[in-house]
Amino acid sequence: MSVWVVCEHRNGALREVTYELLAHGAALCMGAVTAVILAGPGEGEALAALINGKAERTLLVEDPSMSAFNGTAQALALASLAEGAQEPPKAILGAHSAAGMDWAPTLAGKLSCPAVTDAVALSMEGDSLTATRVVYGGKLQSKIKLGGAKMVIATIRPGSLEDEPKAASVETSIEATSVSLPSELGKRFIAWVEEAAGDVDISQADILVSVGRGIQDKENIDVAEALAEALGATVSCSRPVVDMNWLPKERQVGISGKTVKPKVYIALGISGAFQHATAMKDSAMIIAVNKDPKAPIFQIAHYGIVGDLFKVAPALTAAVRAAKG
């Protein structure tokens, strides 16, 4: 069985979600995963070098229409590759990102095959692909069995999968190929719009100090900020903190916020409801502080402190500062 992974890249660098997708693709097909790189002229070889050892082979397409992102161009290129393949892929995986949400539905239409978006897990049951999605604001998990389909398209939520790809047994082979694309694609790239200066991307932080309803008041966030400053961490939060306008939306961890996998996640006054836990449960180390010994967060925490965060957090801050001298 063949699985293709569409490698997402920007400004000459692969995005982290690409490595997650390669890992999951390799698990689905027992290592025989194919990376697909769609890039502008002269851009593909450097990107392909970053894939070496992480896939069985790399399909490389360089075309002027893909010097900047164009979802239509990518969908048409992928359709051409899939239709002309000696062994068509069972699944084509991409990131559930602005890019993936653009090309995936178009590709599914071109190939007349089913598509599932925003999946948090994929598995094979016999010859059928099963996708897991979260629904109703994260209250339930829905399993979708795509039985009988010869080929499926799936976009995966970034941060929901393991990010260490299974190493290929041999050096990755690179197959450069070309596709014929129309001169008029109906859309054109204008510009990347970067986040405003001062904004933070909590999904890239190594250490997060996250606050929940237990922080009680906006002014009390200083307690978390002091600990974060001592640790060199970033402050994040659960949804109630955003709903009360104590922190901006981009700081929210959760189903309706961002999925994170930092090296250390410190939860202060967070109960750990499913909507929040789903988005941070894969952190390398979870430290929870909560007055309620039955709080769900303790079920996934590696270390738990049952106590008053207004006593515990300052003590941790002092200990960190003392350790740093």
Given a cut of 60, is residue 163 above it in pLDDT?
A: no
Position 255 scores a pLDDT of 81
Residue 79 has pLDDT above 90, yes or no: yes
Whether residues 144 and 230 share a domain: the answer is no
Number of domains the chain contains: 2
> Of the candidates 273, 299, 304, which has an alpha carbon nearest to the alpha carbon of residue 289?
304
Task: List Cβ neighbours of 12 (8 Å cut-off, separation of 6 or more).
Answer: 43, 46, 47
Is 183 inside a domain boundary?
no
Give a yes or no: residue 152 inside a domain: yes
Q: How large is the average pLDDT for residues 127-151? A: 82
Q: The pTM is what?
A: 0.75
pLDDT at 77: 94
pLDDT-above-70 percentage for the chain? 94
Enclosing domain of residue 126: 3-177
| pLDDT for the residue numbered 282 | 86
CATH of the domain at 163: 3.40.50.620
User: β-strand 121-125 against 128-135: which pairing, if any?
Assistant: antiparallel
Q: What is the mean pLDDT of residues 137-147?
A: 80
What are 48-68's pLDDT values in tens digits? 998 888 888 999 999 888 888
The answer, yes or no, to whether residue 162 has pLDDT greater than 70, is: no
Residue 36 lies in a domain: yes
Residue 253 and residue 142 in one domain: no
pLDDT 10s digits, 275-325 = 899 889 989 999 999 999 999 999 999 999 999 999 999 999 999 999 998
Single residue among 108, 143, 177 that ends a domain in this structure: 177
Residue 66: the pLDDT is 85
Q: With a cut of 80, say whether residue 139 has pLDDT above it.
A: no
- Say yes or no: 206 and 171 in one domain: no
- Examine the domain organization and report whether 155 and 229 are in the same domain: no
Q: Same structural domain for residues 168 and 26?
A: yes
Look up tokens 């994260």; give the residue.
Answer: 138
| pLDDT 10s digits, 184-201 | 777 778 877 766 655 688
